[in-house]
Amino acid sequence: MDKLKQVLGGQDGGGGSSDGSGILERANQASTLAWGTRMKGFLICFILGAVCSILATCLLWIPGFGLPVFAVLYTVGNLCALASTMFLIGPLRQLKNMCAKVRALATTIMLVCLVLTLCAAFWWKNNGLALLFCVLQFLAFTWYGLSYIPFARDAVTKLFSLCM
């Protein structure tokens, strides 16, 4: 359990440089949380994200204003789920992981679709586009999440290639 805490806390034990050269790194070190607080923050954010997504799906079918409410709640749910992992590994390491070569495309698509979902729901008032961007959000978020599981992307790709 201690090893898991060290890895999630960014202390790999490799004796990496701790010169604190960057302002983000110093801010990250200054804002460390206790393990219990990290777990509580993770659980609260993750559950809040799941509740927002489920509530969004339930409100989708309300005539008249269901789709814009769905778009907002679904987007907020995804942002909360994404933010929940920041409690486990810290914001700086989360941003580095999101921008890693293996996740950069999925991260970009996911963030662009988050913004486009809200634009389609409120500025363009195009329900079809809002729904399309929510589906793309889901797919990008799923692909992003699979990148953390070893060989998961390869398995999904192989599964879909067998189906086609």
Instruction: Give the pLDDT score at 121.
Output: 86
The answer on pLDDT for 17 being more than 50 is: no
pTM of full prediction above 0.85: no
Q: What is the pLDDT of residue 135?
A: 93
Q: How far apart are CA 75 and CA 82, in angstroms?
A: 11
Weakest-pLDDT range from 17-21, 96-100, 112-116: 17-21
Confidence (pLDDT) at 98: 93
Of the candidates 104, 134, 108, which has an alpha carbon nearest to the alpha carbon of residue 121?
134
The two most distant CA atoms of the chain are separated, in Å, by: 58
The count of domains in the chain is 1
Tokens coding 49: 């994200």
Within a domain: residue 39? yes
Quick check: 10 pLDDT over 60? no
Rounded to the nearest angstrom, the gap between the alpha carbon of residue 102 and the centroid of all alpha carbons in its chain is 15
Residue at 149 is within a domain:
yes
Q: What percent helix, strand, coil does the chain show, rounded to 5?
A: 75, 0, 25
53-67 residue pLDDT tens: 999 988 888 887 788
Phi, psi of 66 (to 5 degrees): -65, -40
Residue whose tokens read 């460390």: 32
Question: Can you tell me the distance from the alpha carbon of 90 to that of 38, in angstroms, rounded to the nearest whole number?
Answer: 9
Residue 93: domain span: 32-163
Is residue 74 a contact partner of residue 54, using CB atoms and an 8 Å limit?
Answer: no
Confidence label for 28 from pLDDT (cuts 50, 70 and 90): low
Domain assignment present for 19: no
| 136 lies in some domain | yes
